[in-house]
Structure 1
Amino acid sequence: IGYLPEERGLYEKMRVRDLMTYFGQLKGMETGLARKRASELLQRYGLGESADKKCQTLSKGMAQKAQILATLIHEPELIILDEPFSGLDPLNRDLMRDLILQLKREGRSVIFSTHIMEQAEQICDRVLLIDDGRKILDGELSAVRSSAGKEIRLDYDGDGDFLHDLPGVARVNDSGKQAELFMEEDADPQAVLAALVAARVRVRRFDLRELSLHEIFIRAVGGGEKAVGGDTDGVGGDEDDE
């Protein structure tokens, strides 16, 4: 098992390569093998030049990356990551995302928590959403999204006040000229399009798609609406994904 806690901890006076070697030894690796593996990981993921620097000299993002690599040094079959992207800049977030996807392709099991729904959508096969300590839904990502309803991405010209009165629309996120229309269950998108045409609205884009995990979470916990796969009485709270 490899485990990365949310609260990070590096031995500040140790050098990065020595720290990773030590973590490998704790997991039963022979010292020479652990040191070789540490060097390979550091070089592959952009920390080669920092291998012999003390941990206290690393930036927050570099320290986070070093600890993630230390979690993986012994090539565990089960990896548990608590907020693994915290502190990483966009480039390093992409690098860590690709690393997790590579682990999945190798047949490893990865469980991670995040407050960023887009990360779960990019990486996960299954999701579990928790609000105020209660499970509000779980299952295959594709099944969760397909059963949660639809949204319409709309580009238009004209006054957007009419959007709130369209048939079958539960909620509108209108930024002016562009809008997201979140549909009620069993609503007919064709009825929405017909209403737009009847109102002589110039439609430049009408794109029907599945709800994002972010919107599914909002529906599940906001205003006490019925969640996919269950009910919730929580408002706000944490978003945790597997």
Structure 2
Amino acid sequence: MLPARLSPFARRLTIGLAGAVLLLAALYVVTYWLRREPGRLDYSLFRMVHLNREFSLPTWFNTILLMGVALLAFCARAVATDRAERRAWLVVGIGVTYLSLDEAAALHEVLPNLLGLATTELRTFQWLGAGIVAAAVGSAVLVVVGRALQAPLRRPLLLGLVAYGAGALGVEFVTGYIELAYPSPRAVVEHGLKPALVVLEEGLEMLACVWVIGHLATHLESRVTRLAAPTPAAA
């Protein structure tokens, strides 16, 4: 059985990473409000701390978090003893590696056009039609192979998956719907809806990664400790 709670090291790591997420969110909110008054803040600084822009500090940090989850999944595979469990960790690692690549290169906005899947009837961002289908298929695969993981670890991983999906797809869907409902995207910004939704979306994504990292770190500590323990001599 795995420990039900985070280890002391994993707890400190989780608190530190969550604090970094909150700091990035606070920087975005502060620079957003300063940016509302012309001349008070240079746009390059605002873009650097924007939570939902490519080539920004938060996007880099989100990519690092996803790569951290993938790396820990590959490490968990390395110390797993059951074949089905090793296969499950491999699928998790590959899936999250793709998410990190998507976060860095915004593949979700390019691939639907390349594959001819960009046109949808959804009153939101066009890429979400293909994104929802891909997420449903990927989540189903993860749930099936994840049954091979130890029971105490399945629940936190599933919770992390749900939270990440709620941010990446759910909040994004609402954002696109609201932008279409307003006469112009500028109206959404002026009413403060866009920055609030951006914080919610990116916050859910990053905190989901932090949550999973903490539990994976605890799992690895427990597994490595057991593997390193001396085998009792036969009587």
TM-score, scaled relative to structure 2: 0.22
Q: Which is bigger in relative contact order (C-alpha 8 A, separation at least 6)? A: 2
Q: Decide which structure has the larger Cα Rg and report it.
A: 1
Q: Which has the higher strand share?
A: 1
TM-score, scaled relative to structure 1: 0.22
